[in-house]
Structure 1
Amino acid sequence: MDEQKLENRNIKPTPIRILVLRTLLNSSVALSLSDIEMVLERADKATLYRTLKTFEEKKLIHSIDDGTGAVKYAICEENCECKPQDQHIHFHCVKCKETYCLSHAKIPQTKVPSGFKADSVNMVYRGTCASCS
Structure 2
Amino acid sequence: MLEELETRLKSRRIRPTAMRLLVLEILQKQTAAVSLQDLEAAFVKADKVTIYRTLKTFEEKGLVHCIEDGTGIRKYALCEEGCVCAPEDVHVHFYCKGCKETYCLPTSKVPAVPMPERFRKVEANLLVQGFCSLCDG
Find the counterpart in structure 2 of residue 17 from structure 1.
Answer: 20
Note if 1:32 corresponds to 2:31. no
Residues 75-124 of structure 1 deviation map (CA, whole Å, 9 limit, x = unaligned): 00111111110000000000100000000101000101111111110100
CA RMSD of aligned residues (A): 0.6
2:55 to 36, 52, 59: 52
Structure 2 counterparts to residues 80-91 of structure 1, below 5 A? 80-91=83-94
1:127 to 108, 115, 130: 130
User: TM-score with structure 2 length normalisation?
Assistant: 0.95
Q: State the secondary structure of the residue aligned to 2:84.
A: coil
The residue type paired with residue 32 of structure 1 is S
Counterpart Cα distance in 2 of 1:40 and 1:2: 18
2:6 to 3, 8, 15: 3
Percent identical across equivalent pairs?
50
Find the counterpart in structure 1 of residue 82 from structure 2.
Answer: 79
Structure 1 residue ranges (4+ consecutive) displaced by more than 6 angstroms after TM superposition: none
User: TM-score with structure 1 length normalisation?
Assistant: 0.98
The residue type paired with residue 83 of structure 2 is C
- How many residue pairs match? The answer is 133
Residues 36-92 of structure 1 deviation map (CA, whole Å, 9 limit, x = unaligned): 011123110000000000000000000000010000000001111111100000000
The residue type paired with residue 112 of structure 1 is M
CA shift at 1:9, angstroms? 0.2
Structure 1 unmatched ranges of 5 or more: none
Note if 1:93 corresponds to 2:96. yes
